[in-house]
Structure 1
Amino acid sequence: MKKIMKHIAGLSFICLLLPVSRPAQAEVTLNFQYILSNFSGPVSSQWARVATDLDRGEIYTYDPHENEVRIFNDQGMEIFSFGEDGQVNGASDIAVAEDGSIYVLTTLFTGRPITRLNYRGEPVADIELGNLPETVRDFSPTQLEYANGALYLLDPDGLQILVVDQNGLYQKGFNLREQFEALAAEQDPEKKKGQVIDISGFSVDNTGTIYLTAPMLFSAFRLNTDGTLEIFGRAGSGPGKFGVVAGIAADMDGNIYVSDRLRSVVMVFDKSFNFLNEFGYRGYEDRNLTVPNDIAIDNNGKIYVAQGAGRGVSCYRITSE
């Protein structure tokens, strides 16, 4: 899985501090709806990967510990599952296209890191990455997103993103190492912490804008389509502060949702990075969260949050006033 990346589009880097005062913003609230379930009750999973079929309103989860993909309807009930025949063995992530195709990213890299399955989970094609610049190498993706006919692959340790079409042909790429290392040096100029910088959260909205989190930097990022990289977030234990950030996603209004494993919350920021609200918290009620990780948002105003400790995937309704 190694022959891929070092080219990359030039990036400009903008650091934005959260303002102390600001005009009134819309209030965003989130109300617990349900935990994804089957006829036996809530489906247990451990930090599942979550993807949404925006056209059909269906939710897909992949639990790497079980090597199984489950599909749920828009009411949160399981309607289909596959994986018992080994279709997703060695997979690290999944993504879903408008036509119902399921893309599976495997960690067993053989030059064809992506497999396309039909909606029944049957293999259709292995996808080989092609038309790569000579400078693209040493790329080891573990996360996958789909948006507007393109596949976005993330190498979280290499701090690199590759964008390919649905046939695997190279479109563009981003190397974030220089920007991330500059931020780390700014935070720790004497290099006392010995930081290992990596990316945790990764998502792409319907405009092709990319969202990322870096837990060791206590930061979240928006990578715009023009290559501008914006940063927000501050370390801390209070509302709106970052402990160990994980998943990230944006809704259709541009509001950004960031999960925090340490604080067991999902925080909400507006598109200008102003903190609006947070929800979840540790506890034993259904509305609470336990070590939240991956998150996904559908087109019907719902956010899905994958948890640890076998808590499964919780759904909340987003309301903006």
Structure 2
Amino acid sequence: MTYYRPLVRHGEARPEGAVPLAGSALWFTEVEILSRDAPPRIAPAGLVPEKERRRLSARRASIAGLDMTQPQIMGILNVTPDSFSDGGKHAGVEAAKAAALQMVADGATIIDVGGESTRPGAADVAEADEIARTAPVIAAIRAESQVPVSIDTRKATVGLEALEAGADLLNDVSGFTFDPALAPLAAQASVPVCIMHAQGDPATMQQDPQYANVLLDVYDFLEQQIDRLEAIGVIREQIVIDPGIGFGKTQEHNLTLLRNLSLFHGLGCPILLGVSRKGFIGRIGEEPRAEARAPGSIAAGLAALAQGVQFLRVHDVAETVQALRLWQAVR
């Protein structure tokens, strides 16, 4: 199989033959051609086959009413007692609602509500507990705001209760491999989904993860899951993909994915990136405190936006939005 990674550029002056990236203001004239049995090589964009070029260039449909030609900031709302950087901070419906509304005021365009920690080593949470943590919070947010809300869950019963409470998107860190009922629920409800790649489950995923080729292995997994969801009625245009930074990956795996994020545009779906406060940012940035990793998180996020990523999933909304405004102004 051959893979095409666009070498992304920006600027109003475009050479003849420049191809728009995902319908955005970014473009490319060259691609890196990758395969499992040959060294990478650079080639003109005109050599990309028509089907692949259409997927790379086509404008993405709106997701939960959000414009995919503009960067979107997803605020993280963990309503768990044990999340790695903010566990217990948003316990209780009123505290969680207040936090969500503050993130919206700070510039978040979608809120991601999670009731089960997926940090390395985390244990499973009972469905009833996860529902009790998330559904009332989603209902409370919906009563105060029309901001889109996603439910971060691997479980169909949790997803169903969240959708009934007003959630707009199903975000599954297992890539719809954990609960076989979750993908059919998405199809039946006709809601957008986010497919994330993870190797192993949270309890074991950081125990010596191995790949033949992390970049192409993650791409193939996401493509297979997109095809599987499409086959049961989920609309491809309503699928978001996430390479799953830190989920069964070493630091070098993470960096390889971050350097090559533009490859994933070949799947024809918006890309979501979640690097906020993660361990590798602390190691590289020499900051042991998770809550103090906003600068490193923002640096990685802006590098991803330069490759055309549509969603940044972040804890530090106000800081990220400020950085984004300056980044956009300069560009």
TM-score normalised over the length of structure 2: 0.32
User: Greater share of strand residues, 1 or 2?
Assistant: 1
User: Greater share of helix residues, 1 or 2?
Assistant: 2
TM-score normalised over the length of structure 1: 0.32
Higher relative contact order (CA 8 A, sep 6+): 1
